[in-house]
Structure 1
Amino acid sequence: MTGTGGDDAVKVQDLATLVRRAARRWPHRRALRFDQHDIDYTFAELDELSDRYGAVLAALGIRYGDRIALVFDNRPEYPLLWLGAAKIGAAVVPVNPRYSVRELTRLLDHADPALVVTCADHLDLVLGSAAGGRRVAVTDAEGGPGVIGMDGVAVAAGRTPDQAVYPETLANIQYTSGTTGHPKGCMLSHGYWTAMVRKYADGFPHLGPDDVLLTAQPFYYLDPQWSLAACLLVGSSLVVLDRFHPTSFWDKARAYQVTYLYCIGMMPTLLLRQPEQPTDREHSLRAVACSGIPKDIHAALEKRFGVPWYEGFGMTETGGDLRVLPDDHDELVGTGCVGRPNPHREARIVDERGHAVPRGGTGELILRGAGMMDGYYRDETATREVFRDGWFHTGDLARMDERGRVYLMGRLKDMARRSGENIALNEVEAVLCSSERVGQAACVPVADDVRGEEVHAFLVARGEPAEATEAVEAAEAAEAALADVIAHASANLAPFKVPRYWSFVAELPLTPSQRVAKEKLRALRVTAYDRTTGEQVRLGAPPAPHGVVTERADA
């Protein structure tokens, strides 16, 4: 299949031009469908309705350079407001509606938006956090005291007021998921988005008007936004699910005749663990893109579902950076390789002094090129830490082979240092997950006065959630399971890498991108088995000022 973005695709450098061009080229073709709400939009309707929202925002006094916070789950208002704000040069601040009042208050205080827009479902959350006279608007309800009803705002018929926007115009302040600390606001320009999606018009997977994409991630996360931008560039259609449901995911893919989708985090593992069905290969998919495909199940995924899975790498800060292409795919299945740099990206592997390491050596992955963030909003220190000498420092350990292909080896910050030995926690997690007793695993470092740090392993027992919970709650079964897991770890890891502390939990806290939120794990106050003493201890927040404070669980 050949993409049909058109020769002028390379000239599209802002979101306003992107949606207007799509409306001209494919006015009556379906652009977007929200499965939960049973709502479709054509490209022409996206243009018209985003014009309406842009005009409403302008009528409310939102101007070029202003910021508006969007507090929605997967509802049509999000993309319409995103594109409407883009047309008038305003930037959106996507917000996770599952934040607590405290978390939302902190984010809004940092972003300081001129307007917070939400729906009736999340109005109480917003009002609970919107202190200091911040203006609030709703899209699906009448206004009330201190709340603007957007449907009642009068605007002149026709297009959004003309406002020139440019590649450097700010489009998003996209807060990171905050896996290891407080979220930071990535400043993403119009040029960031158009550079990210141009590869879909230029090369593999050669998307075009006959393609249907599917996303199960929330729109306040990065992926549905770039998926929609890609569809606007090449004329494909995007189906949006309310969230990821492993039991019905393939049914939706078949029903909508999806040809291309993107998975992240735990999705491939959870999909493979569903009971096999005769319909597993009955679908229209020709490619699946995924970040973080577990190496030990990559071949099994392809064999079961009959479609190639392509690994890639990207960050909120940098967009799409690396990916495996068809020429390398077969050779790289199960290797963990994330591919070569995209045409607009350069990659190097460097040591702690910033010097390039020999091919095959391990160091930090650094990147440069077009389409990166403009920095962290109101955080010059953090911006300087990641941008050094013109290169973005990812914080990922990696190696590059002789053919320029990159393999991730772990996170610089996802390490523990025990008695002078560095421990890559993702390596420990992979070993734990290979145990028949373990469904999911995550490890975090714990401060220790003697060894510097110890490792605390959090385990979710294998099996259906109810069975796992029953197994954990049964003391004898949990003890036997833990003994098996520790024996498995001891047989497959160097002694210094075997965790000291062990806890079974019902589930692991996840970010919107389905990655483990390790900062939340560190804060959990849980009972843990201490392998060194053989006792049950209490670990977790608040952290001790000097090493870890442990208490006997029965104390």
Structure 2
Amino acid sequence: MYETIPDLMRHAARTYGEREFLRFPDTSLTFADADARSDRLAQGLIDKGVQPGDRVAIMMDNVPAWPLSWLGILKAGAIAVPVNARYQAADLAHVLDDSGAVLTLTTVDYARIPEPLNTHIPLKADDVANFQYTSGTTGFPKACMLTHDYWLRTAQIAADQVRLRDDDVMLIAQAYSYMDPQWATLLCLIGGIPLVVLPRFSASGFWASAREHGATLTYVLGSMPLLMHKQPPHPHDRDNRMRLVLCSGIQPDLHQAFEERWGAPWRELYGSTESGPDLVVPVDAAETVGTGAMGLAPPGKEVELDRETGEILVRGVPMMNGYWNHPEATAHAFRGGWYHTGDLGFRDASGYIHHAGRLKDMVRRGGENISCAEVERVLTQHPAVLQAALVPIPDDLWGELPKAFLQLRPGHGPDESTAVSVIEHARERLARFKIPAYVEFVEAFSLTPSARIEKRHLLTPERDQRAAPAIATDKEQS
């Protein structure tokens, strides 16, 4: 077991050398290439004054410079702050200000510094590697402090679940600022196998890419499976090397159809940024297909419920060190010695845990977590808005879509022009996936004794929340 991510990178470079490691549309890097280039970047950061423990942000699309920057930052002893490339002014300012980032890497030029790294920065397994921002349970995005040990254990659990083989090829389409490409990078370092990184997810092109690159492993989540399933059947759907698809939130009634269409088993992997992988379904557990079972706890983890159908509680390793700058939120999340996931679940007769809803004040739009409080703050900055409440409404494609209820200031009319103005205001300040899909005006909100909006009164089950008097906005997710 390697103590740090740089240790693993250097071991992989020595062991696998000229084998292909990172494959992008126009570039291929070997393990030795990636090690040397990230060494040069690390030296460049040190020369620019970056100190161990400093935070360095990465804001790029899925290009080779992203994983090289991540590895270089860690080799310099600094902490990486992945930033969603779709962030706009408000959410970007929050992440950069909150993290205290001393530098932001945004171009490949930083990976071309000529001098080699001469000094290895001493690191330990419990040193923080990432400030990984997540919406958490409520409020604005918070930085999960993730150590080298956290990342290595996460990758090893996934490697054990997929039963890595020497001829495997891993394919990933999510943005590198998310968790998935990062642990997939480490999984490929462990196994000495290539990681194919697509520029973005395309429902129509995903399986063509899988065939082109000979992918045997992948991880998809959120709306990705349903979007792929909605594509017209292709005569070569089963003409691929895929031997396992990992997925979070497989739709039970389509599980068998997914496997039959693409000729590979689909297995659940459940976890969070805070706690890493918490439940896994073994590759050979065919009896779980279509049941909604999320799996069993992997070695090092304990998973319990606080009642028969209750909150899912987790403890063990890997686990974040806590939320940066939020000791009270950290204490609340770990009350009683367990991490409180905010998800509800129940256990079946075989011991598998199933999902049964969520306690979090969030909207899960496809694969994206949207903090209601963050969006509400931006909405209430519009001159017409007095108060705002964001709530999730069910959607067949995205799982959930955000709907905004707005109480207007006097002198502003509850009409389409006002709604458009508010949405345009939000669009300038937030990532597109956070923009409300629907807007509804209210005369007043029902408040709790502590003067908080009582959201449970907003979504009345007797009417379709997508219909009038709601006003639909842009519902597409970029």
Instruction: Give the TM-score normalised by structure 1.
Output: 0.68
Once residues 446 and 401 of structure 1 are traced to their aligned partners in structure 2, the CA distance between those partners, rounded to angstroms, is 37
Kindly state the Cα deviation for residue 441 of structure 1 after the two structures are TM-superposed. Answer: 5.5
The structure number with the bigger radius of gyration is 1
RMSD: 3.3
Of the candidates 179, 189, 209, which is equivalent to residue 166 of structure 2? 209
Of the candidates 416, 419, 439, which is equivalent to residue 526 of structure 1? 439
Kindly state the Cα deviation for residue 540 of structure 1 after the two structures are TM-superposed. Answer: 11
Kindly state the Cα deviation for residue 317 of structure 1 after the two structures are TM-superposed. Answer: 0.7
- 1:74–1:240 contact (8 Å) kept in structure 2: yes
Once residues 318 and 27 of structure 1 are traced to their aligned partners in structure 2, the CA distance between those partners, rounded to angstroms, is 32
Query: Is residue 84 of structure 1 aligned with residue 72 of structure 2?
Result: yes
Kindly state the Cα deviation for residue 405 of structure 1 after the two structures are TM-superposed. Answer: 1.2
Deviations 1:71-90 (A, max 9, x none): 11111111111111111211
Of the candidates 325, 333, 339, which is equivalent to residue 295 of structure 2? 339
Flag the 1:29–1:412 CA change in 2: closer, same or farther, 3 A: same
| 3-state SS, counterpart of residue 389 of structure 1 | helix
- 1:324–1:340 contact (8 Å) kept in structure 2: yes
Flag the 1:445–1:409 CA change in 2: closer, same or farther, 3 A: farther
Match of 1:48 in 2: 36
Of the candidates 379, 384, 404, which is equivalent to residue 326 of structure 2? 379
Flag the 1:244–1:444 CA change in 2: closer, same or farther, 3 A: closer
Deviations 1:2-54 (A, max 9, x none): xxxxxxxxx2121010000000110010000112xx10110011110010000
| 3-state SS, counterpart of residue 239 of structure 1 | strand
The one of the two structures with greater contact order (alpha-carbon pairs below 8 A, sep at least 6) is: 2
Of the candidates 13, 16, 19, which is equivalent to residue 6 of structure 2? 16
- 1:539–1:549 contact (8 Å) kept in structure 2: no
- 1:67–1:93 contact (8 Å) kept in structure 2: yes
Query: Is residue 307 of structure 1 aligned with residue 296 of structure 2?
Result: no
- 2:346–2:356 contact (8 Å) kept in structure 1: yes
Residues 157-176 of structure 1 mapped to structure 2, 5 A cutoff: 157-176=115-134
Kindly state the Cα deviation for residue 539 of structure 1 after the two structures are TM-superposed. Answer: 5.7
Deviations 1:241-280 (A, max 9, x none): 0110011111100000000000010011011110001100
The runs of at least 4 aligned residues of structure 1 exceeding 6 Å deviation read 443-448, 540-554
What percentage of aligned pairs have identical amino acids? 40
Q: What runs of 5+ residues in structure 2 fail to find an aligned partner? A: 364-390, 407-422, 460-467, 472-478
Kindly state the Cα deviation for residue 367 of structure 1 after the two structures are TM-superposed. Answer: 0.6
Match of 1:95 in 2: 83
Match of 1:26 in 2: 16
- The one-letter amino acid of 1:285's match is M
Match of 2:205 in 1: 248
Query: Is residue 292 of structure 1 aligned with residue 280 of structure 2?
Result: no
Kindly state the Cα deviation for residue 159 of structure 1 after the two structures are TM-superposed. Answer: 2.8
Flag the 1:12–1:388 CA change in 2: closer, same or farther, 3 A: same
Kindly state the Cα deviation for residue 299 of structure 1 after the two structures are TM-superposed. Answer: 1.0
Once residues 165 and 111 of structure 1 are traced to their aligned partners in structure 2, the CA distance between those partners, rounded to angstroms, is 21
Once residues 97 and 443 of structure 2 are traced to their aligned partners in structure 1, the CA distance between those partners, rounded to angstroms, is 28
Flag the 1:31–1:160 CA change in 2: closer, same or farther, 3 A: farther
- 1:53–1:81 contact (8 Å) kept in structure 2: yes
Query: Is residue 233 of structure 1 aligned with residue 201 of structure 2?
Result: no
Query: Is residue 74 of structure 1 aligned with residue 92 of structure 2?
Result: no
Once residues 273 and 219 of structure 1 are traced to their aligned partners in structure 2, the CA distance between those partners, rounded to angstroms, is 25
Once residues 120 and 470 of structure 2 are traced to their aligned partners in structure 1, the CA distance between those partners, rounded to angstroms, is 65
Once residues 251 and 444 of structure 2 are traced to their aligned partners in structure 1, the CA distance between those partners, rounded to angstroms, is 30
- The one-letter amino acid of 1:378's match is N
Match of 1:64 in 2: 52
Match of 2:462 in 1: none
Match of 1:499 in 2: none
Flag the 1:114–1:163 CA change in 2: closer, same or farther, 3 A: same
Deviations 1:506-526 (A, max 9, x none): xxx9xx999x75xx43xx662
- The one-letter amino acid of 1:411's match is R
| 3-state SS, counterpart of residue 187 of structure 1 | strand
Query: Is residue 410 of structure 1 aligned with residue 357 of structure 2?
Result: yes
Flag the 1:118–1:322 CA change in 2: closer, same or farther, 3 A: same
Kindly state the Cα deviation for residue 161 of structure 1 after the two structures are TM-superposed. Answer: 2.0
Kindly state the Cα deviation for residue 158 of structure 1 after the two structures are TM-superposed. Answer: 3.2
- The one-letter amino acid of 2:92's match is L
Once residues 136 and 300 of structure 2 are traced to their aligned partners in structure 1, the CA distance between those partners, rounded to angstroms, is 27
- The one-letter amino acid of 1:319's match is G
